[in-house]
Amino acid sequence: SAMAAVRDVDIDPEGTFKYILLRLQRPGGGEQRDIVRGTKAAEFHNHIFEKVNPEMEKLGYECKCLGGGKIEHNSKDKKIRVFGLSTGYGKADHSVTVEILKKEYTDYEITWSDDKK
């Protein structure tokens, strides 16, 4: 399916940056799944959404932002830390984000907290 063509995770390979948790859905319900997107290029969480949303609409999905936070990605030590929140979208369920990240980064230590920093 086209949904399988959409990557679960698309985040920067290194550094600390904003991320959002998105729910993709076929219009009218049915198939849905959650994806994680994050990048240093985004000054605000909505910048990520504004980039991803049109791409997903082209593929025929409705996109809903479930919240955001920050990701600290250390590729050298194979560690990812998920924390913080989005002022505009609220805090994502970081435990859900971690489960999605674990699918992509199978050999990483991945943790989350409600810490702001």
The values of phi and psi at residue 88, to 5°, are -75, -40
Q: Answer for the pair 58, 71: CB distance below 8 angstroms, yes or no.
A: no
Q: Which of 45, 47, 73, 94 is catalytic?
A: 45
Q: Tell me the C-alpha distance between 8 and 34, whole Å.
A: 7
45 included as an active-site residue: yes
18 is annotated as contributing to ligand binding: yes
User: Which one, of 114, 74, 116, lies nearest residue 95 by Cα?
Assistant: 114
Strand ranges in 26-96 using DSSP code E only, listed in sequence order: 32-39, 62-74, 79-83
User: Residue 104: what residue type?
Assistant: E
* Active site residue ranges: 45
User: Which residues does the annotation place in the binding site for substrate?
Assistant: 18
User: Which residues does the annotation place in the binding site?
Assistant: 18
